[in-house]
Amino acid sequence: MKQKIGVYICQCGSNISDYIDVEKVKQNIENQPGVFLARTTMFACSDSSQKEIEEDIKTNQLDAIVVASCSPKLHLQTFRNVAIRGGLNQYNYVQVNIREQGSWAHSDKPVEATEKAIQMVKAGIARVAESKELTKLKIEAANKVAVIGAGVAGLRAAVELADMGTEVFLIEKEHFIGGRVSQWGKLFTSEQTGEEIVTELYKDVINHPKIKLYTGTQVISKSGSVGNYNLELKIIPRFITEPCTPDAFDKAIEICPVEVDDEFNFGLTKRKAIYKNYDSEFPHLPAIDMEHCTKCGKCLEVCDNIDLEQEIRYETITVGSVLIATGFDPYEPAEGEFSYKTVDSVITLQQFKRLIELSKDKLIYNGKEIKTIGYIYCVGSMQIKGENKYCSRYCCTSAIHAAIEVFDKYKIKSYHLNRGIRTYGKQELLYTQSSLNGDVYIEFDPKKEPVISKNGKGTIINVVDLLTAKEELEIPVDLVVLVTGMVPRKNNTIGDILKIPIGRDKFFNEIHPKLRPVETVIDGVQIAGTCQSPKNITESLKSSLAAASKASSLVSHGEIELEPTLAKVHVNICEWCGKCAEACPFDAIIKTKVEDKEVAHVNLANCKGCGMCLPVCPVDAIDLIGYTNQEIENMIDALIE
């Protein structure tokens, strides 16, 4: 039992003290068994308060501390470091959350909030009184990282990691790298093309001795744990061998009888079973889509570098960490949503951007020259009835930039039907330019969306304009562009394999958006780019650099420190039944033998200390270090006094 406990109660400015009487909390806990001193402080996390706590630990030889403030998600590590600097074991510290669970939750009942805070602090004292000095575990780590996804975020992360001395396996599911950016032409606000950006990154990747690029490759299974993940790769061949001369390849395309919708152009065009999306696409070697290839053999007659008998290969790699950068899918409207697929002059923003790239002197769609365009914003974002409640961030700017581009090239007039324009930062300059070009902006009520129809003369958009006292407008256009948002990848099995949690928006979820923005709760798994949330290219690249830095810091020293708050099996009590292994979401528990007795064994590198195994054990043979039965029971006793 700890006998010299220091307790610090934070006012958090007024976040806590406006609703909780912190002085009353102090008076009620300062005489608790083991409490040596109790103080209130304006901001416990401030430098001055941290130094005061350090000095108290040193001067009074405190053997434990309790900080009653905000969520441990914010400042657990802050006060652990305070304990260390004061000479106290960091696991002899407990944080009590009287802000989110007290003042904020019960701001309408300050008296009751104060009483709850008193009981919570007493429970924290009871728990820390039983705390033990713990030491972090250390395991070996391979200075290797698997980067999953070779879009711009994955490419940039791979280069950054390699430059820091880490060996990188860059794994791309498609046969060509570049992700979504390779599909776009001019980009805001640099006016570089997607092809130019991908070309620069590819050159850096292919020329770096520490990067190994896999294309047509998927991760199909994972074993091991942080520091030593074993990833099994499935590598689908291109069915073409080097060198493949352009003339022979062009003849093979011409003679191929199979045509399918070209997903690179979002179905606007067709492609053959043997394909390459554009001349400078990387890697330069073409590929054969074996899902649609009939193996008729005609391509073999004109090209000697085709080998239809190549087989799928499997390979296992060992890495210390995994960085996920699998990107996004553009939202695909349902049939009939804003007349999509029911009116032939309605297309999506992603199709429109490819249409611009495919057009030359005139913008032609369905054989008709386009002279006026209506853009409808927030399709697939901020939906009232749909699932996607979030803003996709890039769509407004992307649509306005496209409108500027078609004005410059074809002098096309544009109508922007929106729910409020978000061109944040320097992108506001694009909105200004669009307005100067004569584009018309119309704001509609999301509860009364525009209606698209077709009469004998052409396509009509009917809309109620909030900016002109709800005047009903009828706008004739040649083309309607649905400004679609970002959604998570439809087929993203890597998330299931690595057990990466997802948020309410269905994108991969980070631990904390500000404090740990690229880490997941799975140790050694980082996320970057638009697999995490909607971002523009600049934001994606910045997150990829952050994720690369975090991955490097984890594996570059050759060993990793792990939290010691893990499950522990009492082998003298355990009689293997397997229920704990079934309950464990991290595959951390296996069956083993100890002196001819089958018992549960915890793989410490996999264990996250979640406690799922504890309640299912029929003989109570498992404890959680740092959250032992004695500590929890003491807390309960304190709460019900």
pLDDT digits (tens, 9 = 90+) for 519-543: 998 989 999 999 999 999 999 999 9
Inside any domain, residue 396: yes
CA distances from 475 to 10, 357, 369, 416, 468 (A): 59, 26, 18, 11, 15
Q: Flag whether 464 is in a domain.
A: yes
Average pLDDT over residues 565-572: 93
Among the listed residues 121, 122, 5, 127, the one whose alpha carbon sits nearest the alpha carbon of residue 64: 5
CA distance to 5, 67, 90, per residue, from 35 (Å): 5, 13, 18
22-62 confidence digits (pLDDT tens): 999 999 999 999 999 999 999 999 999 999 999 999 999 99
DSSP 8-state code for residue 292: T
Domain that holds residue 605: 563-625
The whole-number pLDDT of residue 284 equals 86
| 256 pLDDT above the threshold of 90 | yes
**Per-residue pLDDT band at 121 (split at 50, 70, 90):** very high
For residue 342, give both structure tokens.
């029911």
What confidence score (pLDDT) does residue 387 get? 87
In tens, the pLDDT along 35-44 reads 999 999 999 9
Residue 279 has pLDDT above 80, yes or no: no
Q: Which residue has the higher pLDDT, 457 or 509?
A: 509
> How many domains are there within the chain?
5
CB atoms < 10 A from the CB of 473, how many? 16
Return the closest-CA partner of residue 586 out of 492, 488, 501. 501
Q: Residue 357 pLDDT more than 90?
A: yes
**Is 635 inside any structural domain?**
no
Domain membership of residue 637 (yes or no) is no
Which percentage of the chain shows pLDDT scores above 70?
A: 100
Q: Is the pLDDT of residue 641 over 80?
A: no
Asked, for residue 18, whether it belongs to a domain, the answer is yes
Residue 144 one-letter amino acid: K
Mean pLDDT of the region 440-461:
93
CATH number of the domain encompassing residue 20: 3.40.50
**Percent of the chain scoring above 90 in pLDDT:** 85
- pLDDT reading at 246 higher than 90: no
In whole angstroms, what is the distance from residue 551 CA to residue 323 CA? 7
Q: Are 451 and 462 in contact (CB under 8 A)?
A: yes
Same domain, 274 and 396: no
CA-closest candidate to residue 394, choices 337, 328, 319, 344? 328
Residue 474 CB neighbour total at 10 angstroms: 9
Mean pLDDT, residues 590-597: 91
Pairing of strands 64-69, 5-10: parallel
User: How far, rounded to the nearest angstrom, does the alpha carbon of residue 632 sit from its chain's CA centroid?
Assistant: 34
Tell me, yes or no, whether 630 lies in a domain: no
Tell me the average pLDDT across 163-180: 97
Does 323 lie in the same domain as 205?
yes
What is the predicted pLDDT for the residue at 249? 86
Assess whether 47 and 35 both reside in one domain.
Answer: yes
Domain identity same for 174 and 323: yes
pLDDT band at 141 (very low <50, low <70, confident <90, very high): very high
Task: Look at 78-92, 142-156, 277-291, 385-399 and tell me which has the smallest mean pLDDT.
Answer: 277-291
Distance CA 102, CA 197 (A): 50
**Is 356 in the same domain as 446?**
yes
- Asked if residue 122 and residue 188 are part of one domain, the reply reads no
8 A C-beta contact, residue 455 and residue 365? no
Structural domain ending residue among the three candidates 559, 585, 607:
559
DSSP H or E stretch at residue 129: none
93 and 73 fall within a common domain: yes
Residue 143 confidence (pLDDT): 97
pLDDT of residue 482: 98
Domain of 595: which CATH number? 3.30.70.3270
User: What contacts 247, CB < 8 A, 6 or more positions away?
Assistant: none
Q: pLDDT-based confidence at 214, cuts 50/70/90? A: very high
Q: What is the pLDDT of residue 222?
A: 93
Does residue 337 sit in the same domain as residue 439?
yes
pLDDT of residue 216: 97
- In a domain, residue 594? The reply is yes
On whether both 320 and 174 belong to a single domain, the answer is: yes
Same structural domain for residues 23 and 101?
yes
pLDDT mean over 110-128: 97
User: Smallest Cα–Cα separation from 249: which of 275, 221, 281?
Assistant: 275
pLDDT of 280: 74
Which of 106, 128, 150 is at the close of a domain?
Answer: 128
Query: What is the model's pLDDT at position 137?
Result: 86
Instruction: Compute the average pLDDT of residues 110-133.
Output: 96
Alpha helices in 359-459, H assignment, sequence order = 395-410, 428-436
Q: How many C-beta atoms lie closer than 10 Å to residue 604's C-beta?
A: 17
What is the pLDDT, as a whole number, of residue 175?
96
pLDDT at 237: 96
**Which of 259, 323, 346 lies closest to 294, judged by CA?**
259
485: tokens are 């948002």
Q: Which pLDDT belongs to residue 515?
A: 82
Clarify whether residues 540 and 585 are in a common domain.
no
What is the pLDDT confidence band of residue 232, given thresholds at 50, 70 and 90?
Answer: very high
pLDDT tens profile 321-342: 999 999 999 999 999 999 999 9
Which whole number is the average pLDDT over 264-292?
91
What's the confidence (pLDDT) of residue 238? 95
| 423-433 tens-digit pLDDT | 999 899 999 99
The mean pLDDT value of the chain amounts to 94
φ and ψ at residue 509, rounded to 5 degrees: -105, 130
CATH number at residue 322: 3.50.50.60
Q: For residues 608-636, give the mean pLDDT.
A: 92
Shared-domain flag, residues 153 and 276: no
The whole-model pTM stands at: 0.84
Check the CA dihedral 154-155-157-158 and report its sign.
positive
- Whether 491 has a pLDDT exceeding 90, the answer reads no
Residue 503 within any structural domain of the chain: yes
Mean pLDDT within 388-417: 96
Q: Which residues contact 54 (CB under 8 A, 6 or more apart)?
A: 82, 85, 86
pLDDT greater than 90 at residue 563:
no
Comparing 242-246, 317-321, 504-508, the range with the smallest average pLDDT is: 242-246
pLDDT exceeds 90 at position 595: no
Given this model, what pLDDT does residue 455 score?
85
* Predicted confidence (pLDDT) at residue 255 exceeds the cutoff of 80: yes
Choose one of 463, 487, 511: the last residue of a domain.
487
C-alpha dist (Å) from residue 554 to 142, 208, 223, 443, 501: 10, 22, 19, 48, 20
| pLDDT class of 287 with cuts at 50, 70, 90 | very high
For residue range 69-108, what is the model confidence (pLDDT) as tens digits?
999 988 999 999 999 999 999 999 999 999 999 999 999 9
What is the average pLDDT across 136-155? Answer: 95
Query: How far is residue 170's CA from residue 162's CA, in Å, rounded to a whole number?
Result: 11
pLDDT on residue 621? 95
